[in-house]
Amino acid sequence: MSEQTGPVHGAVRNLVLATGAFALCFAAWSLVSPFAKTFKHDLGLSYTEALLLTAVPVVLGSLLRIPMGVLTDRFGGRVVFSALLAFSALPAVLFGYADGYWALIGVGFLLGVAGASFAVGVPFVAGWYEKERQGFALGVYGAGNIGTAIAFFGAPPLVDRYGRPTLGWVTAIALLVGAALFLLLAQNPPRRAPAARGVSRAARAVPTRSPLAHDPRCRQDRC
């Protein structure tokens, strides 16, 4: 019983951890967008400049998914996801103190790293489930993009009440706690045996059904 429930429990635990980490990363990734209009007004930005400010994290997050996927294949999702969360805490703090346009562009560039978390979590989660269950698992993991909504609806009220530096520190602390929990509690998925076990059994069964298999003259592939 323990051999059957153990892997299932591990898969559920790692799915929950990955989904939570994904939500944290997407919340950090989306810190700039809720304040685009405020920055446009306060800094006297043009429409194009304001658009670039919100586009930088999105573009970089998309471009970094390829190298982050490669790193995940090499070092495993546990280490890469933990490092990604910890690194994202730095631009989250800087976001609270960036006042100039180019300072915000730089912070947005660094926050874009958090957007590459999708490429880290997908192979991590998929590795814990059989093919028949991977669609469900990845669907649950994808729900972590609720972090975007958390940033859009939660960040402005927090800034209005306590200021942008507080938002930066709260986000950074959440990211660091998430990194520590993921590093301590998450496990890389087990390496699975090749999926051709059923075929190999059938292949082994064919010669035993053949009359030639019992012919002593048909040994060592000399039939």
How confident is the model over 145-172, as pLDDT tens digits?
999 999 999 999 999 999 999 999 999 9
What does the mean pLDDT of the chain come to?
A: 84
Residue-range domain boundaries for the chain: 2-192
CA pseudo-torsion sign 69, 75, 77, 82: negative
133 token code pair:
């269950």
pLDDT at residue number 62: 84
For the chain, percent helix, then strand, then coil, each to nearest 5? 80, 0, 20
- Written as six digits, the tokens of 212 are 């030639």
Domain 2-192 has what CATH class?
Answer: mainly alpha
Q: How far apart (Å, rounded) are the C-alpha atoms in residues 47 and 55?
A: 12
Q: What is the pTM assigned to this prediction?
A: 0.80
pLDDT tens for 175-223 read 999 999 999 999 998 865 444 444 444 444 444 444 444 455 544 545 4
Strand locations in 12-159, DSSP E? none
The SS3 of residue 136 is helix
